Structure 1
Amino acid sequence: MFVKRSVTSSMAKALVGILILSVLSTGLALTTLVDSLRDAEAVNIAGSLRMQSYRLAYKLTNGSNQLDGLLVQYQHSLLAPALLKLDRFYVPKDVREKYLTLRQSWHALETEIRAGHPESYQANVASYVDQIDHFVLALQRYSEQKLSIVATVSVVGYIAIIALVLFCIRFMRRQVVTPLKRLVDASLRMQQRDFNHPPLDVSLPNELGVLSQTFTAMSGDLAKLYKSLEHKVREKTERLQQANRTLEVLYSCSQALNAGQLDQRAFEKVLHIVRLSEQLQCIRLNVEDNVNQWQIGNGEPLAEQEWHALAIMQDNKPLGSLSWQQQQQPPHPHLMQSVANMLSRSVYFYRAQKQHMQFLLMEERATIARELHDSLAQALTFLRIQLTLLKRTLANSSPAAHEIIDDFDQALSDAYRQLRELLATFRLSIQDADLNAALKQVLEPLKLLTSARIQLHCRLASQALNAQQQVHALQIVREAVLNAIKHADAQEIVIRCELSPEGNNQITICDDGSGIDSLDEPEGHYGLTIMNERAVRLGGTLHIGRGKTGGTEVCLTFPP
């Protein structure tokens, strides 16, 4: 940026112009006045020529002997310095011509006087004096003209000076004062963080124009920088607020998952917290088991709305997905990813917790089995040994005694058989928290006892049963399958685990055997009774009857 016309140089030029005008007008006036100092003398001398002309005419008439002296005096007056300066170039031509004519006419008259012809002088003196009158009038007008010139030059000089001063004032107001006011106003607005100040005049060719350009560019840069800083501060604030909200949501979810035992209600509470926080239409947790999946949701889904999903992983293995439908704005991705990670660990802990509970139950039942084996089983064994010895001792006794001994032997055998079944029941081992896998573990040893084909169709999710429910359900399935193997002579046994139309858990065991005749158990058998007690503990019902195509159907229904 270059300065085309500096304010200093412009003001200097204006001041120099004022000074020049002042000097010119004053100098011209002074010069004219100086030149006019001898105008009065010239007028007086020219006026005295009239008197001297008449005096010569009078002396010629009287014959005076002073004629030579008068002629010399007249010549001296006619050639006086005040009149000789009239021959200069700046003197008006009319004055110079009249003065020259006057000198020529006097030369002719002087010649006539010296030639002794006074009558010729007297005849022409009147016209000569008339020439003098015209010459004096010309001198007077010339003097007045010089005074008019002085006045005109003075007035024109003053007018020019005043005009130049007004121009300087106007120039200062337009080129200096107004731009400075705008700069001051813009600087005050910028001090108040208002960058939308009125536009500055950047077209000025002086320093203030350059300053306005620089100030405008600086103001624009500061406005951009300030907006950028405001945007960054706003972004940081939003990030901090989002991080704070994310931490609050994660804390609430953590509290929900850490409140006692993990169950379906804990997962539903977490989904409810996330849905309200992120204003989601619907959110679902889908967990995949070995053969099926279980789903927990919160909110009402819309059929026409798009689903978004995040995979739930644990040790790089998929556990399921977290899916949702958003209303307007999408949820924060970091929050949803953190919730997905938290749910993946919770699902893993849920399975581990369920498996741990089952291990505790199995350990407790195994302890009871060991206690039964070490106490009751040994007592029954001792009684059988004693009964055998008694038979040998009373080999020749009466038939009535042998009948009593045989009944006692039969009762002891039934008690021993029931004890073995009870020990087998208590020693049931489940190594997996997954219902489908646990059923397979229960059915594996049973398949070795029969040639019948045993089919398993499990559509119940693992979370549908807790550890105690799962143990009771497995025992009922085991007892029903054992009954089908031992008493029905079945060739095909089908186990189905699914949800009933009412939403309850339903386990059905069907076989194609001979079918059950009565629900009344023989004396010393308690399998059906125990199955009914387990169903009551599950809060459900157990229905045993003939199947639609024959055989026996055992249907266990209990709430989730």
Structure 2
Amino acid sequence: MLKRCLSPLTLVNQVALIVLLSTAIGLAGMAVSGWLVQGVQGSAHAINKAGSLRMQSYRLLAAVPLSEKDKPLIKEMEQTAFSAELTRAAERDGQLAQLQGLQDYWRNELIPALMRAQNRETVSADVSQFVAGLDQLVSGFDRTTEMRIETVVLVHRVMAVFMALLLVFTIIWLRARLLQPWRQLLAMASAVSHRDFTQRANISGRNEMAMLGTALNNMSAELAESYAVLEQRVQEKTAGLEHKNQILSFLWQANRRLHSRAPLCERLSPVLNGLQNLTLLRDIELRVYDTDDEENHQEFTCQPDMTCDDKGCQLCPRGVLPVGDRGTTLKWRLADSHTQYGILLATLPQGRHLSHDQQQLVDTLVEQLTATLALDRHQERQQQLIVMEERATIARELHDSIAQSLSCMKMQVSCLQMQGDALPESSRELLSQIRNELNASWAQLRELLTTFRLQLTEPWITSGAGGELRRVQRQIWLPGEAELSIAASSGAFASGNPLVANCP
């Protein structure tokens, strides 16, 4: 309880205290004024009673000599002189001794004198003396009344001064404790509504306004921190979305470029450069296998070489230094469920890691590269098969033409041989030799037709052509082993390039 009493007053308690103080001052002034006014009212009644005694004294003087019919006047005057109201007024105003003296004079001297007097002159002096005492009593009542009225005026003035001082104090207190802090809080609230969290309320004390200012300061600081965190998150999200947009744009452009009809180097170089710009990977190298053999491959890098300068190719960036061995080598296989098309190699600097988006970018690009290489290889096979079919068609047509010519020649030789002895011996021998050559040519022509009727059952043309070559060897009994030379590109099957070579 003591601690609570000694603790600082709250604003509500301070306002209540000011109201109570002003009320107490007003009540005190009214109480003092009421008490003084009651005294003034009692003095007025006493003055009236004294005036009544004066009139009654003159009436008794006029009635001298007194008779039995004048006794009521004496009794009335005695009641007035000894009334309790007059006694209380005299006691309150300090005139009790003088009143008692008048009462004794009335009872002991004036009444006996009036009762004995036969004329007015004998008691006129006594009545005048009694009236003079009454006048002094009334004068005492008047002085007391005037003093009380002056006291009331003084009390009112003092109360007015106190009320004025209290009013000035209240105005100063309200301005210092309520108005100025309230303005600071309103200014701070307006600043917060405009997203300005730099303003602070400087309110001293430990009242409600100070607590509210401290709470607003803390709230503004927390809001500023929250807004800073949110702005940072928005910037991070925006940067992430921009990066993802770049990744999607790169994948779309890469997909369109990879499925174009440009040469493979012109398609792959911009894609590898874009991948190097969007990720942390360096020294990116793409190896494309010509067959399933990893030793026979083509290399595509982001580093230009002498061949690029000779061709005038400017697709690869200039002035980019390789990372060297300061990093980790990463590998991605370009393969599907049946065939391995190549491998993607890259160097990741030490202490760095690919983000989730970058890893997805690389995986998606690897799938696109695999699909592109698979489509290119499928188109290459289709072109090779078309060339083989065209060559077989040409061979069959040529076989038919030569076969007709050989058949015609055999018929002509047969006709000549049917002449028998009409021909000389040398001619018959020559015709026999021609017929043997025609038969040999016919047999070789049939074997050649069989050779061109290849049956490619293997997935890759090299294996299929090798199997067919072994079948031809068994049919024509070729000694030793034949060598197969088929180029990797479709240009090797152009007109004039032999399919089977180095046959002994």
| Structure with the largest fraction of helix | 2
Q: Does 2:51 correspond to 1:28? A: no
Superposed, 1:271-290 pairs within 5 Å as 271-278=272-279, 280-287=281-288, 289-290=291-292
Q: 2:346 aligns with which of 321, 324, 327?
A: 324
* SS of residue matched to 1:285: strand
Provide Cα deviations, 1:420-468, integer angstroms capped at 9, x if missing partner: 6754664455556747645644654367456858899x9xxx9x83122
Summarize the Cα distance change of 1:231–1:31 in structure 2 as closer, same or farther, 3 Å threshold.
Answer: same
C-alpha offsets along residues 159-195 of structure 1, whole Å, 9 cap, x if unaligned? 5434543443344335543443234323322332334
Over 3 Å counting, the alpha-carbon distance change for 1:297 and 1:404 in structure 2 is: same
Q: Deviations over 1:35-89 (max 9, x none)?
A: 47899999xxxxxxxxxxxxxxxxxxxxxxxxxxxxxxxxx99x9989965755x
Question: Residue in 1 aligned with 2:21?
Answer: 17
Which residue does 2:488 correspond to in 1? 465
State the 1:24 CA deviation: 1.3
Work out whether residues 200 and 216 of structure 1, in 8 Å CA contact, stay in contact via their aligned partners in 2.
no
Aligned ranges 1:8-407 → 2 under 5 Å: 11=15, 14-29=18-33, 31-32=35-36, 35=39, 87=91, 157-158=159-160, 160-198=162-200, 204-205=207-208, 224=226, 228=230, 231=233, 235=237, 237-238=238-239, 240-260=241-261, 263-278=264-279, 280-287=281-288, 289-292=291-294, 294=297, 295-299=299-303, 300=322, 302-314=324-336, 319-325=341-347, 332-384=358-410, 386-387=412-413, 390=416, 393=419, 398=424, 400-401=426-427, 404-405=430-431
CA distance in 2, matches of 1:177, 1:151: 36
**In the TM superposition, what is the alpha-carbon distance from 1:365 to its structure 2 partner?**
0.5
Change (3 A) 1:276 1:419: farther
Counterpart CA distance in 2 for 1:264 and 1:423 is: 40
Contact 1:307 1:323 (8 Å CA) reproduced: yes
**Is the 2:456–2:468 contact (alpha carbons within 8 Å) kept by the matching residues of 1?**
yes
Aligned pairs (5 A) from 1:520-535: none
Q: 1:103 to 1:270 in 2, by over 3 A?
A: same
Does the 8 A contact of 2:285 with 2:301 survive in 1? yes
- 2 CA distance for matches of 1:292 and 1:86? 140
Residue 351 of structure 1, CA deviation: 1.1
Cα distance, 1:259–1:145 mapped onto 2, change above 3 Å? same
**TM-score w.r.t. structure 1 length?**
0.54
What is the total number of aligned residue pairs between the two structures? Answer: 425
Alpha-carbon separation, structure 2, partners of 1:24 and 1:433? 120
Instruction: Please list every run of 5 or more consecutive structure 1 residues that lacks an aligned counterpart in the other structure.
Output: 43-75, 112-137, 484-560
Q: Any idea what the Cα deviations from partners look like across 1:401-420, whole Å, max 9, x if unmatched?
A: 35644664676577557756
Distance (whole Å) between structure 2 residues aligned to residue 316 and residue 197 of structure 1 = 70
Q: Does structure 2 retain, via aligned residues, the 8 Å contact 1:387–1:409?
A: yes
Distance between the aligned counterparts of 1:160 and 1:473, measured in 2?
129
Query: What is the letter of the counterpart of residue 193 of structure 1?
Result: R
Report the CA distance between 1:348 and its aligned residue. Answer: 1.2
- Please tell me the residue identity of whatever aligns with 1:466: S
Q: How has the CA–CA distance of structure 1 residues 160 and 241 changed in structure 2, closer, same or farther, with 3 Å as cutoff?
A: same
* TM-aligned CA distance change 1:383 to 1:358, over 3 Å: same
Structure-2 change in CA distance of 1:193 and 1:35 (3 Å): same
- Do the aligned partners of 2:458 and 2:464 also contact (CA within 8 Å) in 1? yes
CA distance in 1, matches of 2:490, 2:329: 33
Counterpart-to-counterpart distance in 1, 2:257 and 2:45:
128
Distance in 1 between residues matched to 2:397 and 2:292, nearest whole Å? 36
CA 440–179 in structure 1, closer or farther in 2 if over 3 Å, else same: farther
Provide the rounded CA distance (Å) in 2 between the counterparts of 1:441 and 1:262.
32
Cα shift at 1:325: 3.7
SS in 2 for 1:324: strand
Deviations 1:220-267 (CA, angstroms, capped at 9, x unpaired): 5798489658846862x4455345423432332233223226634433
Find the aligned partners of 1:316 and 1:365 in 2 and give their Cα distance: 29
Does the 8 Å CA contact 1:21/1:160 hold for their aligned counterparts?
yes
Structure with the higher strand share, 1 or 2: 1
Cα distance between partner residues in 1 of 2:463 and 2:162: 115
The 1-side partners of 2:471 and 2:388 are apart by 17
Q: CA deviation at 1:356?
A: 0.3
Shift of 1:353: 0.4
Name the SS for the 1:332 alignment partner. helix
**Partner SS, residue 306 of structure 1:** strand
| Cα pair 2:188 2:200 within 8 Å, conserved | yes
- The separation in 1 between residues aligned to 2:30 and 2:468, in whole angstroms, is 133
Secondary structure at the aligned position of 1:307 is classed as strand
CA distance in 2, matches of 1:473, 1:228: 72
**How far, CA to CA, are the matches of 1:453 and 1:5 in structure 2?**
116
Counterparts of 1:422 and 1:447, CA distance in 2? 12
2:456·2:464 contact (CA, 8 Å) conserved in 1?
Answer: yes
CA contact 2:29–2:155 (8 Å) conserved in 1:
yes
Q: Residue 157 of structure 1: CA displacement?
A: 3.8
Contact 2:201 2:214 in 1 (8 A): no
Q: Structure 1's 211 and 365: CA in aligned 2 closer, same or farther, altered over 3 A?
A: same
- Alpha-carbon distance in 1 for matches of 2:268, 2:465: 25
* Structure 2: distance between partners of 1:160 and 1:356: 115
SS in 2 for 1:284: strand
Give per-residue Cα distances to partners, 1:255-294, cap 9 Å, x unaligned: 3223226634433343234334557523333456433263
> Would the aligned equivalents of 1:425 and 1:475 in 2 still touch at CA under 8 Å?
no
CA distance in 1, matches of 2:214, 2:279: 51
Determine if contact 1:307/1:324 at 8 Å carries over to the other structure: yes
- Aligned-residue offset at 1:366: 0.8
Of residues 219-228 and 23-32 in structure 1, the stretch that sits farther from structure 2 once superposed is 219-228
Instruction: Go from structure 1 to structure 2 and tell me whether the alpha carbon gap of 1:183 and 1:418 turns closer, same or farther (over 3 Å shift).
Output: farther
Instruction: Evaluate the alpha carbon distance shift between residue 32 and residue 310 of structure 1 in structure 2; reply closer, same or farther with a 3 A threshold.
Output: farther
Q: Percent identity?
A: 18
